[in-house]
Amino acid sequence: MAIQTLFGSASAEPNLLEKLKAGIQKTRSGLVGRIEEVFAGQKEIDADLLEELEYTLITADLGVRTVTEILEQIRLGLDRKSTGGAAEIRGLIERHLLEVLVASDGPMKPVSAPPAVIMLVGINGAGKTTTIGKLTHRFQSEGRQVMLCAADTFRAAAMEQLQVWADRNGVTMIRQTQGSDPSAVVFDALNSAKARKADYLIIDTAGRLHTKENLMAELDKMRRTAQRVVPGAPHEVWLVMDATTGQNGLEQARKFTGAAGVTGIILTKLDGTAKGGVAVAIARELNLPIRYVGVGEQIGDLLPFEPERFVESLFEK
């Protein structure tokens, strides 16, 4: 089993599927477990049962459009007598979720000359800084040299928090004093990363509300600064989204994708919610690939996302 990286594919850890299953256990029981319950003891698939099924899918936060399509397909199948039992309906749901996730998925554009510059953006507390700590660990285990850029110069203790992750991973972090212009830190860090021939430079940004236009413009300035030092940078801008916020996060996300040139999603805190189905709604509504999912607070709790593996980990017994 291989996983995709910005420098080509790498071999995945052998127990990736098991880790994913454990990480999304709440969603497994909240979605697939409840689908089983809907069918349990029912001999006939009638209107009541379909309504209950619809309710279950909606509560799992899959998104109304996807749920409506699934129900239409089931009804059509029943009319034509091509869909009969629980197993078939379950298979139909699984296939449809995969189809939706695949439609917004796509490979990362490989970076030909390092440093690969990745910027993480998102609202306050989504998990950006923690995710950078985990990404660093992951990239290092893929044999890459990583550097960090502390461009959250706003919040007190933000730089210290990132420094803890830098120390834990034994990597260099570029910082300035609190309150300095984030773009100036980006400029310094990119030059450093170039000089030291780092493979990755990961930029931590301050959490911000999508409604603050000056702060959104600041992200754009950081991108333009990066571009001046390393053509093509930032190669990836990942929007970090908290899965427990569910579909309420979609409106914020749309603003970020518009203002910050987001290229992919990292969905955090999947371990803490039964509404992990929101991955489907997010990928679909933003039409962006999900790159990683966060399944805990520890350094190893960030897993690469891949539609087939995700759906399999949800439905596999």
Ligand X SMILES: Nc1nc2c(ncn2[C@@H]2O[C@H](COP(=O)(O)OP(=O)(O)OP(=O)(O)O)[C@@H](O)[C@H]2O)c(=O)[nH]1
Peptide bond into 115 cis (omega under 30): yes
> Considering the complex, what minimum distance in angstroms separates the CB of residue 248 from ligand X?
16
Cα–Cα dist 300/196, whole Å: 26
We find the least distance from the C-beta atom of residue 273 to Mg ion, in angstroms, to be 20
- The residue sitting closest to ligand X, measured at its beta carbon, is 207
Q: Which does 234 bind (CB under 5 to 8 A by kind): Mg ion, ligand X, none?
A: none
Cβ closer to ligand X: 134 or 223?
Answer: 134
CA dist 174 and 225 (Å) reads 16
Q: Which does 52 bind (CB under 5 to 8 A by kind): ligand X, Mg ion, none?
A: none
Least distance between ligand X and beta carbon 294 (Å): 3
- Stretch touching Mg ion by CB under 5 A, among 28-36, 127-135, 236-244, 301-309: 127-135
Shortest Cβ 151–Mg ion spacing (Å)? 10
252 is in the binding site of which of ligand X, Mg ion, none (Cβ under 5 to 8 A by kind)? none
Are the CB atoms for 60 and 277 separated by under 8 Å? yes
Say if residues 7 and 116 touch (Cβ distance below 8 Å): yes
Residue closer to Mg ion, measured from CB, 125 or 272: 125
CB of 180 to ligand X, least distance (A): 16
CB of 266 to ligand X, least distance (A): 9
Taking CB under 5 A as the rule, does residue 129 contact Mg ion? yes
State the residue number with the nearest CB to Mg ion: 129
Which is nearer to Mg ion, 129 or 273 (by Cβ)?
129
Which region, judged by CB under 5 A, interacts with Mg ion, from 129-137, 250-258, 271-279, 295-303?
129-137
CB of residue 207 to ligand X, shortest distance in Å = 2
Interacting residues with ligand X (CB under 6 A) = 122, 124-130, 152, 155, 158, 207, 240, 268-269, 271-272, 294-297, 301
Among residues 207 and 304, whose Cβ is nearest to ligand X?
Answer: 207
Q: Which of 21, 128, 235, 269 binds Mg ion (CB under 5 A)?
A: 128
Give the pair of three-digit tokens for residue 89.
């309906």
The window from 58-66, 121-129, 192-200, 287-295 that contacts Mg ion (CB under 5 A) reads: 121-129
- Residue 235 makes contact with Mg ion by CB under 5 A: no
The binding site for Mg ion (CB under 5 A) comprises 128-129
